[in-house]
Amino acid sequence: MGVLELDRVLTLSINNWNSSFGDGFFFTFTSTWIWLPLALVLMAIVWRTYDWKTMLLVIAGIGLCILLADQTTSLIKHTVCRLRPTHEPLLDGQVHIVNGYVGGMFGFCSAHASNTASIVVFTALLFRNWIYSVLMSTWALLNMWSRIYLGVHYLGDILCGALLGMLIGWLIYILFCWIWSKTILSNRQVMPLCITYLIIVFAIIAMALANM
User: Over the stretch 12-50, which tens digit does the pLDDT of each residue have?
Assistant: 999 999 899 899 889 988 887 777 777 777 777 777 777
The tens digit of pLDDT for each residue in 100-150 reads: 999 999 999 999 999 999 999 999 998 888 888 888 899 899 999 999 999
Q: Which residue has the higher pLDDT, 89 or 48?
A: 89
For domain 3-210, say whether CATH 2.60.120 is its number: no
**SS3 per residue for the chain:** CCHHHHHHHHHHHHHCCCCHHHHHHHHHHCCHHHHHHHHHHHHHHHHHHCCHHHHHHHHHHHHHHHHHHHHHHHHHHHHHCCECHHHCHHHCCCCCCCCCCCCCCECCCCHHHHHHHHHHHHHHHHHCCHHHHHHHHHHHHHHHHHHHHCCCCCHHHHHHHHHHHHHHHHHHHHHHHHHHHCCCCCHHHHHHHHHHHHHHHHHHHHHHHHCC
> Considering the entire predicted model, what is its pTM?
0.81
Check pLDDT > 70 for residue 189: no
